[in-house]
Amino acid sequence: MDMKRVVVTGLGTVNPLGNDVETTWANALAGKSGVGPLTRLNADEYPAKVAAELKDFNIEDFGIEKKEARKMDRFTHYAIAASLMAVKDANLEITEENANRVGTWIGSGIGGMETFETQYETFLKRGYRRVSPFFVPMMIPDMAAGQVSILLGAKGFNSCTVTACATGTNSIGDAFKVIQRGDADVMITGGAEAPITKMSVAGFCANTALSTNPDPETASRPFDSERDGFVIGEGAGIVILEELEHAVKRGATIYAEIVGYGCTGDAYHITAPAPGGEGGARAMKMALDDAGVTPDQMDYINAHGTSTAYNDKYETMAVKEVFGDHANRLAMSSTKSMTGHLLGAAGGVEAIFTVLAMKDGKLPPTINLQNPDPDCDLDYVANEAREQEVNVAMSNSLGFGGHNATLVFKKYVK
């Protein structure tokens, strides 16, 4: 079977560092934190006092009327905004002629949690007749993909992945395979999440996953010995993947080529990663094999790097297992130190960071790395961005349920 080459031709994001790609990337390279005081909820009710919230986001700025916006959960707003930006960035026109070959694969880890909570309160107080008729289509995780497809007229392959914190990366990897095998020419893909809600934050606090550091500037500190949990974030990251010949024919700008995808299961525990990160290691190996890339060719890894005790330690161990001596020569950073953890959207945003690092030859830093954990002893691009040529890069995502996903990108060469 003749496997198609697949390239990245458009980027779009809304996240705690900015409501567009340019602002986001500039702030990331400057080492700015998108974390602030928890304002969506009453912070007095939770041990977690900080969150990585979007600033000044309004879906109406993206041409969605208020009446229509009310029929969607915020995670769908974020997906639409990021998708519209990505399609515009790709200079992609979807017409009746090509609509059947343009697909949508956008995931969400928890979907419309806020909608579920508010509508359940309405049900308890006023009965089923007062529940919104849009309750179910607002809540279900696939509606980000559904609404983007409807809005843009994309009639091709349409799907949604739900793999917790690996969602965005799995979505992009699966969309990559759709094009590679010839089932689509273009895929609009990534993840979206709006998890800063009463029950979501309560649940993560109850299982002690969130940082209780009240200082927004230092709460997210991957690989640091004083890390005490992740900072919950929100937003969306969308990339346009395109079959190479299709992209070249229409004169598209090519950011990078996506060449490898690995996806494994820990088969170990509902929340804890497998000891030594063995599942993540297998995902990385699978992605390298899929890409035809040897370990010593890797220049940069955008780590899952959540700022939790086990994740950072085990991901470091997994990288050492996969890359051997080369692990000490490659660079690896966690942009979650700045964005917080966007759950199902994380992989989408981090794929954008990975591609831009390659395009611009600049590595985003891991901020707040002041007291390195002795078990985390690789080059994490500590505290300041670095200029470095990147020809091959990897992005990792590891999720509750034992989901591991890895993408490999290469600098595009004709």
Residue 263: active-site member: no
As a whole number of angstroms, the distance between CA 89 and CA 75 comes to 21
As a whole number of angstroms, the distance between CA 39 and CA 151 comes to 31
Q: Helix crossing, 21-29 with 346-360: angle to 10°?
A: 70
Instruction: From the candidates 160, 165, 263, 376, give the one annotated as an active-site residue.
Output: 165
Helix count and strand count (H, E) for the chain: 13, 14
Burial of 63 (0-12, 13-18, 19+ CB in 10 A): exposed
Judged by DSSP in three states, 409 sits in strand
SS3 content of the chain, % helix, strand, coil (to 5): 40, 20, 40
Rg (CA), the chain: 20
Contact 175/189 with Cβ under 8 angstroms?
Answer: yes
Residue 252, sorted as left (phi over 0), alpha (psi -120 to 50) or beta, turns out to be beta
Altogether, the residues listed in the chain come to a count of 414
Q: Measured between alpha carbons, how far is residue 127 from residues 65, 113, 118, 119, 132 in Å? A: 29, 19, 13, 10, 11
Q: How many CB atoms lie within 10 A of CB 324?
A: 11
Q: How many CB atoms lie within 10 A of CB 3?
A: 10
Nearest to 216 by CA among 34, 31, 24, 30: 34
Q: Which residue has the tokens 């040529």?
A: 389
As a whole number of angstroms, the distance between CA 31 and CA 364 comes to 7
Q: Which residues pair with 341 in a beta bridge?
A: 232
* Non-local CB neighbours of 384 within 8 Å, separated by 6+ positions: 31, 365
Q: Which residues pair with 126 in a beta bridge?
A: none
Token digits of residue 297: 């060719």
As a whole number of angstroms, the distance between CA 95 and CA 126 comes to 45
For the annotated catalytic residues, the residue numbers are 165
